[in-house]
Amino acid sequence: MTTSTTQRPPFRSIGHGMQRLEVIEKVTGRAHYTHHVKLPGMLHAKIVRSHVAHGRLNAIHVDEAKAIGGVVAVVTGQDIQQVIPNPYFGPAFHDQPILALDKVRYVGEPIAVVLAESASIAEEAAGYVYAEIDELPAVFNEVEAMTSSTYVHESLRPAGTFADLKHLNGIKNTNVALAFQLKKGDTDQAFASAAHVFDDTFTSQQVMHAPLEPMISLADVGPREVSIWTASQSPSFVRMEIARLLGWRENQVKVLTGYLGGGFGAKLYIKLEALAVALSLVAGRPVRVALTMAEQFYTITRHATTFRIQTAVDASGKITGRRCDVVWNGGAYADIGPRVTQKSGFTAPGPYSIENVDITSTAVYTNLPPAGAFRGFGIPQLVWAYESQADIIARKLGMDPIAFRLQNALSDGKEHATGTMMKDAAIPLVLNRLSEKFDWPQTQSSQEGRYRRGKGMGVGIKACVAPTTSVAIVTIAADGSCSVQTNTVDMGQGSDTVMAMIVAEVLGVSAAEVNVMPPNTEATPYDMATLGSRSTFHMGHAVRLAAEDALKKLKAMAAEVGVEPVEPGHFREVFLKRYGMQAGTIIGSGTYMPTYQSPDKGTGQSADITPNWMIGGCAMEVEVDTWTGMYTILRMENVVDCGTPMNPKVVDTQISGAAIMQLGTVTLEQMEFDEQGQLRNAGLSEYKIPGIQDIPQHLGREAVDAYQENGPFGAKGLGESAAFGVASALAAAIEDAVGVRIKDLPIRPQKIWEALQTMNERKG
């Protein structure tokens, strides 16, 4: 096994595999999702969408739809402006109208809503709403959008939430929402003196999260408060944004979530909530807005990217300089794209120690459905490029791909391109474990005959989005039973269970008996959001602090009444003695925000860019049919550094789950648009996601023995790490087998076959 890097104290609860708290509900069909919320008198909404990618919205004809029995109202952007005068929302830019106003900016943009007594009536009537739209030229490709004279927005509207975006306010005649720059050393000098120079461009395609529970929000606006039931990963943000839109106080906005049927970044920040609230305001009744699977594709997606990467290497195989130019296709509305551009952009040079680095990472608007956060927050697109090129370099220099990476690895104590010193980033350990588990040195390629075999690997690094805050409350009831209140949303990643384990660890109670309250902003305190693998680290700390605070208060009360020591299982006696009966509640609270230093505007330098680094690597063996380009992944190994694996049972599933989801985006998935910007394949019949027959026969997974010193109990996040290395591992293995390099995702057999034809023609 591995060399132990850790000096972990013995844990009572942490690190012992535990079943999720909600297993019985989930296998018996009793788990509660937002889908099941029914409100007395509620109306059903059906969204009418733009059929034009870019155009002036002249008129919307609603009379025919209104006349249909059971239709209560047909609502347009103008109606919404009557109740919310400035109806623009978004986490980074306030650029997205609740319903289109003067312009439409992508096919599928919401332009009107039918409200009816039943969902089927609303759906039927939506077909009778007709919009007059004057078409404008549209721009779809991210590189073209950089220089196009077709502008998606008249001017930029940063939200003001982020200090570093404020300077963009009011800028006109551009599609560039944000350009992040990082400069370190002298790249010109590095390239001038390089023994080898590499220059490659890699692209990734637009894909969709496709959570199986389609997005859904319900709202009920009363005279003094609004209640919102929503399948959201960020109840605190929804509360703040709705309060801002209405001009109300935060404490007048109540946001509740149930279990989420998957999220993956699709249900972040604010999606349908503003529309549901606006519709309830207009109609004076509760409103349910439930999307179909197909409609999700018009709501949020993952950025398509074009990444040109140039690398200078010396004669010994050391990377001496790297230029990264990444362009992110943000679609028509910014969503969180500008954050992805910066927070992930600075990792574009990869997990390598490089003295001279120059990064430009640019978010652009286009006339496509908006792009935002998607499992990995941009990292998978970056790793795809830098690890594909790492393989190209190693191959050219005749070096073993793992040896090349180990030689250049950003090991602890080295300086990242941002200037932050690396710490607790087990890059070499992940590479070595991957090599051992895969049996890398002994795995030989076979380049003869019709079916050929090859191997490939990739490793990626992610910084934790910072600085962000989490708050938790832990209570002890008079019978000694414990509860935890947080706004962390359990969407399948097992966060409820981990938070219960942390309470159990601190208080010595049974984790299975800790009650975890589902988010309800009336009672659950602030949390930035459930995203970017931040909950275990941030909320884990907050829950730990809250539990410690509760324990301190319990001990003080025990001392007061002379019950000592306080033993788990005997908390009740303290309350009995203090109050003379089973009465009282102890309330502990905890707040966590890590240290952080904003990157310098000009150079992107920061001594403290992230509280932790997440590492994920993948190795694959494939067999390629040279006649058809069809390929089979024979083996896949996935290794991550997540510090202490808090709940090993769930850690394993998160590793393979992330790898399988990523495999879908690498091999199968692609949103396909025609020249008008019409999406051809919204919905699962034309957009195939991985099924049980699509996974490799052998799929290995491991969390290395590592410890995150500043993490709660040595832990850090993990939900995304196994997504990082998948794409480049496959492309490398295919080149190893048949000698062709695919640089554009997804990797489909047709591309391999065409590349083989081209190669053979050249040879012939």
Partner 1 sequence: MSAVYNEIDFVLNGRTQHQRVDSRENAVDVLNQCGLKGTRESCGQGLCGCCTIYVEGKPVSGCLYPAWKLKGKDVTTVEALSSGSRIDVVQQAFIDAGAFQCGFCTSGFVLMTKKLLSEHPDPSREQIEHYLAGNLCRCGAYPEIIAAVRLAAERLAANKGEQ
Interface contacts to partner 1, rule CB under 8 A? 19-20, 22-33, 35-36, 68-70, 118, 120-121, 124, 209-214, 259-264, 292-294, 491-494, 649-650, 652-654, 656-661, 683-685, 689-693, 695, 699
CB of 17 vs partner 1, minimal distance in Å: 9
C-beta separation of 74 from 129 below 8 A: yes
| Residue among 568 and 648 whose Cβ is closer to partner 1 | 648
The pair of structure tokens assigned to 592 is 């966590």
Query: What is the DSSP track for 23-36?
Result: HHHHHHT---BGGG
The pair of structure tokens assigned to 555 is 């001990």
CB of 96 vs partner 1, minimal distance in Å: 25
In angstroms, how far is CA 255 from the centroid of its own chain? 21
| Residue among 722 and 756 whose Cβ is closer to partner 1 | 722
The pair of structure tokens assigned to 743 is 């640089």
CB of 516 vs partner 1, minimal distance in Å: 15
CB of 360 vs partner 1, minimal distance in Å: 34
In angstroms, how far is CA 78 from the centroid of its own chain? 33
Calpha distance 228→43 (Å, rounded): 14
Calpha distance 162→160 (Å, rounded): 5
| Residue among 375 and 541 whose Cβ is closer to partner 1 | 375
Calpha distance 508→540 (Å, rounded): 16
CB of 396 vs partner 1, minimal distance in Å: 35
| Residue among 278 and 682 whose Cβ is closer to partner 1 | 682
- CA 247 to each of CA 81, 85, 242, 421: distance values in angstroms, whole numbers, following the listed order: 14, 10, 8, 43
CB of 692 vs partner 1, minimal distance in Å: 5
CB of 69 vs partner 1, minimal distance in Å: 5
Calpha distance 747→267 (Å, rounded): 27
| Residue among 32 and 552 whose Cβ is closer to partner 1 | 32
| Residue among 97 and 746 whose Cβ is closer to partner 1 | 746
CB of 127 vs partner 1, minimal distance in Å: 10
| Residue among 454 and 494 whose Cβ is closer to partner 1 | 494
The pair of structure tokens assigned to 431 is 């590479």
C-beta separation of 229 from 342 below 8 A: no
Q: Please give the DSSP secondary-structure letter assigned to residue 539.
A: I
What 3-state class would DSSP assign to 620? strand
Amino acid (one-letter) located at 536: T
CB of 291 vs partner 1, minimal distance in Å: 10
Summary count for the chain: helices (H), strands (E):
19, 27
| Residue among 115 and 740 whose Cβ is closer to partner 1 | 115
Calpha distance 445→733 (Å, rounded): 9
| Residue among 230 and 342 whose Cβ is closer to partner 1 | 230
| Residue among 492 and 594 whose Cβ is closer to partner 1 | 492
| Residue among 432 and 654 whose Cβ is closer to partner 1 | 654
| Residue among 432 and 647 whose Cβ is closer to partner 1 | 647
Calpha distance 603→353 (Å, rounded): 17
| Residue among 70 and 584 whose Cβ is closer to partner 1 | 70
CB of 596 vs partner 1, minimal distance in Å: 31
| Residue among 549 and 669 whose Cβ is closer to partner 1 | 669
Q: Could you identify the residue written with the tokens 């020591």? A: 565
| Residue among 177 and 703 whose Cβ is closer to partner 1 | 703
What 3-state class would DSSP assign to 750? helix
**Kind of pairing between the strands at 451-463 and 613-625:** antiparallel
CB of 478 vs partner 1, minimal distance in Å: 27
Q: Cβ of 484: how many Cβ atoms within 10 Å?
A: 26
- CA 295 to each of CA 49, 216, 290: distance values in angstroms, whole numbers, following the listed order: 10, 11, 9
Beta-carbon contacts of 258 under 8 Å, excluding residues fewer than 6 positions away, are 31, 32, 33, 34, 36, 37, 229, 231, 518
The pair of structure tokens assigned to 58 is 């002249």
| Residue among 39 and 576 whose Cβ is closer to partner 1 | 39
Nearest CA-CA partner of 487 in 420, 535, 418, 445: 535
Q: Cβ of 686: how many Cβ atoms within 10 Å?
A: 12
Dihedral pair phi/psi, residue 717, rounded to 5°: -70, 165
HSE (side-chain half, CA atoms, 13 Å) at 201: 7
The pair of structure tokens assigned to 209 is 């999260």
| Residue among 28 and 442 whose Cβ is closer to partner 1 | 28
Calpha distance 123→41 (Å, rounded): 18
* Strand ranges (E), 162-235: 176-184, 196-204, 216-221, 226-230
CB of 626 vs partner 1, minimal distance in Å: 26
| Residue among 264 and 592 whose Cβ is closer to partner 1 | 264
CB of 479 vs partner 1, minimal distance in Å: 22
Calpha distance 524→473 (Å, rounded): 8
C-beta separation of 106 from 297 below 8 A: no
Q: How many residues does the chain have?
A: 764
Nearest CA-CA partner of 389 in 427, 363, 350: 350
Element (H, E) at 460: strand 451-463
The burial class, CB within 10 Å (0-12 / 13-18 / 19+), for 159 is buried
CB of 121 vs partner 1, minimal distance in Å: 7
CB of 494 vs partner 1, minimal distance in Å: 7
CB of 25 vs partner 1, minimal distance in Å: 8
CB of 118 vs partner 1, minimal distance in Å: 7
CB of 117 vs partner 1, minimal distance in Å: 10
Rg of the chain over CA atoms, in angstroms? 27
